[in-house]
Structure 1
Amino acid sequence: MEKLREVLKSVRIPQAGDRVYKDECVISFDTPESKTGIYICLNSFIGISRDYVEEYSQRTGNRVFLHMRHTSIELPPEKEIEPEKKIARLAIGVEGGFNP
Structure 2
Amino acid sequence: MTITRDEDVIGGEPRLARTRIGVRHVATRVIDSGQSPAYVADQLDISLSSVYEALSYYYDNVDEMRSFERENEDAFERVRESSLKPKETVQ
TM-score, normalization by structure 2: 0.31
Q: Which of 1 and 2 has greater Rg?
A: 1
Q: Which has the higher helix share?
A: 2
Provide TM-score, normalisation by structure 1. Answer: 0.29
Please state which structure has a larger fraction of its residues in strand: 1
